[in-house]
């Protein structure tokens, strides 16, 4: 699932939530890829979160990459999910820190924090619903 926030014309914040559960509940956000590598399965209590600043629609350029700053302040709550209506509602909080590349290694550390985030999605396309461990 991707949550997109428009900052200005052609500049967006995008938070990707990989393997979002298809049922109500509370889930911890993680930055770990290890748990999601094929064959290891998807733990049902975590969701992988990735964040980027993007430039759309002309050049589809990733302007900056951020990693989740792991901690108890990160969470995802699915409050409502209806597959037949293609609706999902929830809340989240997360904190991301910018990944400096070699060209900007000496630059200041930049963080983006979401508190009390809410989402209401309708008419979404669901590629796959996983209800049992793989």
The string of pLDDT tens digits covering residues 65-76 is 788 888 889 999
Residue 68 DSSP SS3: strand
Q: How many domains does the chain have?
A: 1
Are 96 and 68 within 8 A, CB to CB?
yes
Enclosing domain of residue 57: 2-121
134 within domain boundaries: no
94 within domain boundaries: yes
Q: pLDDT grade, residue 51 (50/70/90)?
A: confident
Secondary structure of 11-65 in HEC code, one letter for each residue = EEEEEEEECCCCCCEEEEEECCCHHHCCCCCCCCCEEEEEEEEEECCCCCEEEEE
pLDDT at position 115 = 92
The string of pLDDT tens digits covering residues 86-125 is 888 999 999 988 876 555 555 556 788 889 999 888 877 6
75 within domain boundaries: yes
99 within domain boundaries: yes
Tokens of 87: 């609706």
132 within domain boundaries: no
133 within domain boundaries: no
């Amino acid at each position: 699932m991707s949550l997109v926030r428009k900052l200005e014309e052609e500049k967006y914040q995008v938070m990707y939530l990989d393997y979002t559960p298809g049922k109500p509940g509370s889930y911890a956000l993680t930055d770990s890829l290890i748990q999601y590598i094929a064959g290891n399965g998807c733990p049902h209590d975590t969701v992988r979160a990735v964040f980027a600043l993007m430039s759309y629609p002309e050049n589809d350029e990733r302007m900056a990459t951020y990693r989740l700053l792991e901690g108890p302040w990160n969470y995802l709550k699915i409050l409502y999910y209806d597959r037949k209506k293609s609706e999902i509602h929830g809340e989240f909080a997360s904190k991301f820190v910018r990944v400096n590349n070699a060209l900007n290694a000496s630059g200041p550390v930049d963080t983006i924090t979401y508190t009390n985030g809410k989402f209401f999605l309708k008419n979404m396309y669901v590629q796959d619903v996983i209800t049992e461990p793989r």
